[in-house]
Amino acid sequence: MNDHTGFLDIFPRSELFADIEEGKLPDVHSYGRQCAYEPGVALFREGDPADKSFFVLKGRIKLTKLHPEGRETIVRYINPGEMTAAVSVFRERNYPVTAEAIETSEVIAFDRETMLEVMRAYPQVAINLLGIVVERLENVQSRYLEMQVERVEQRIARSLLRIMKQSGRKTDEGILIDFRLSRKDLADYTGTTLYTVSRILSSWEQRGWIATGRERIIVSDPHSLVAFAETG
Amino acid sequence: MNDHTGFLDIFPRSELFADIEEGKLPDVHSYGRQCAYEPGVALFREGDPADKSFFVLKGRIKLTKLHPEGRETIVRYINPGEMTAAVSVFRERNYPVTAEAIETSEVIAFDRETMLEVMRAYPQVAINLLGIVVERLENVQSRYLEMQVERVEQRIARSLLRIMKQSGRKTDEGILIDFRLSRKDLADYTGTTLYTVSRILSSWEQRGWIATGRERIIVSDPHSLVAFAETG
DNA sequence: CGCTCTATTGATAAACCTCAAATACAGTGG
DNA sequence: CCACTGTATTTGAGGTTTATCAATAGAGCG
């Protein structure tokens, strides 16, 4: 097994190197610099000049966007095997979001030149990356649309299901959201307040759809939740 | 003047062929098939299999997204020199939006294979396209954030300014939105109702910030509107 | 145990939507 | 040029959703 396939082992879920012949894979790992981040530490902040992009090896990263008036929105969670800021790097720009570790995380950082070099040498990497970005665009567009036409309760249901799919882990009590997720976090993610989230989660808990704890949610009856999200 | 520079002349605002040496430009024009669309005619509909992407030569295209419950949301307007569905084509997917001409429009259609072929041969095209998609992603993310933290009046102000920048034309009365834009359109764009939009536009008209007519808006005092959008 | 951070819950108010009805406007055909 | 028709817009009244404020309870941690 050579360096290249080793790289693929590290990023099993990465679509970035799909459709490239084994022998022709770029040796990206040797270019990158591995770093570790503790919870609460920012990889980069909104507005910083974008000079690096990151592969998440371990842990979990939270992307947030700040509004001038102070409120923040959670844009997305980045899981192991996924990449963030891969694109801000191409345009000499600033990061449009803040990336913060919410668990002890290990990432590999790539600089602008490396990314461009790899993409010019391996157009398929650029094409794959395009696919990833498009998917994210569609994701945000869906959330945007939901925000317009759906009531808060439905939006929370949908968001919880989305997070569950992305970061859930099966247990015997149901599907556990596998990281600290407070009422405030969920509120920032769905564009509401922690009070409303609390009320709604309580009502779901009474109905037996979920089980909650401090910064912890288990979806015990995903089916009902899906049904609710679809029909209102 | 050869075909390539001619192509660039037609698409002055397109970034797709930036950073490529003159002599090495792909002869994309010869691949594409030119078509004309009358107002109200759809280039493609949400859910149709995505098999073509489009360059807008002339006219204006409206992208809308349908919600299961029947309401429709305007996602974006596409101007001459811009491209749409460039991305849906990469993934064998369905169009996520409906594209409809709102003026008599001329476009060039490219199929999936052509796009991929061009991008493999000219990685810079893929990189440029990536930039365009990222810009759109950031745009949607900003609107998503606005939607969460801002009140309707502020959102309408911001959206009107955005549309103004994208499609405004200077007149002696102010900056005219250069196409039919109804209260309903603006409501769908900002996620509110036509009644609310009507009330708000009326109040702005009284303050002298704008002048309105049937499906027509002129921003006579952009400065005040910007100030309002920023501060609330 | 005391401290801090998170969550719950009730009361109140604001923002916004919905419905209804009237009015203004643009285009059409006489 | 004018009346007609269909659509767009305005405006009011009333209701719903959800935010805001305030006070309390619970969880984790040293």
Taking an 8 Å cut-off on Cβ atoms, the answer to whether A145 and B230 are in contact is no
A130 → closest Cβ in B67, B129, B191: B129
- Sorting pLDDT into bands at 50, 70 and 90, what band is B67? low
Asked if A52 and A158 sit in the same domain, the reply is: no
Asked if B142 and B30 sit in the same domain, the reply is: yes
pLDDT in tens, A4-32: 333 333 343 456 666 666 666 666 566 67
Task: Please give the pLDDT value at position B158.
Answer: 95
pTM of the model: 0.81
Q: Chain B: nearest CA to A226, how far in angstroms?
A: 15
Q: Tell me which H or E stretch contains A12.
A: none
**Domain total in chain B:** 2
- Sorting pLDDT into bands at 50, 70 and 90, what band is B74? low
The answer to whether residues A229 and A190 touch, using CB atoms and an 8 Å cutoff, is: no
User: For residues B149 and B201, which has the higher predicted lDDT (pLDDT)?
Assistant: B201
Query: Which strands form B83-84's sheet, in the order they lie side by side?
Result: B33-37, B105-111, B52-58, B83-84
Contact between the CB of A191 and strand D at under 7 Å:
yes
Asked if A190 and A138 sit in the same domain, the reply is: no
pLDDT in tens, A71-103: 889 999 998 888 888 877 666 788 999 999 999
Q: Chain A: nearest CA to B124, how far in angstroms?
A: 7
pLDDT in tens, A212-228: 999 999 999 999 999 99
Residue B165 has φ and ψ, to the nearest 5°, of -65, -40
- Sorting pLDDT into bands at 50, 70 and 90, what band is A122? confident
Mutation site, B16, B127, B152, interface A, largest A CB count within 10 A: B127
Nearest to residue A42, comparing CAs of A115, A101, A1? A101
| End-of-domain residue from the set B146, B162, B187 | B146
Asked if B121 and B208 sit in the same domain, the reply is: no
CATH number for B77: 2.60.120.10
Task: Please give the pLDDT value at position A135.
Answer: 82
Give the β-pairing of A42-44 and A98-101: antiparallel
Average pLDDT of chain A, as a whole number: 85
Domain housing B118? 4-146
Q: Does B76 touch chain A (CB under 8 A)?
A: no
Q: Does B136 touch chain A (CB under 8 A)?
A: yes
Residue B231's identity, in one-letter code, is T
Measuring from the CA of residue A200 to each C1' atom, give the nucleotide at the shortest distance: C8
Measuring from the CA of residue B206 to each C1' atom, give the nucleotide at the shortest distance: D10
pLDDT in tens, A189-215: 999 999 999 999 999 999 999 999 999
Task: Please give the pLDDT value at position A156.
Answer: 97
DSSP of A158-185, one letter per residue?
Answer: HHHHHHHHHHEEEETTEEEE-S---HHH
Measuring from the CA of residue A149 to each C1' atom, give the nucleotide at the shortest distance: C17
Which nucleotides of strand D come closer than 7 angstroms to any CB of the protein?
8-13, 17-22, 26-28
pLDDT in tens, A163-196: 999 889 999 999 999 999 999 999 999 999 999 9
Q: How far apart are CA B103 and CA B35, in angstroms?
A: 14
Q: How far apart are CA B94 and CA B88, in angstroms?
A: 7
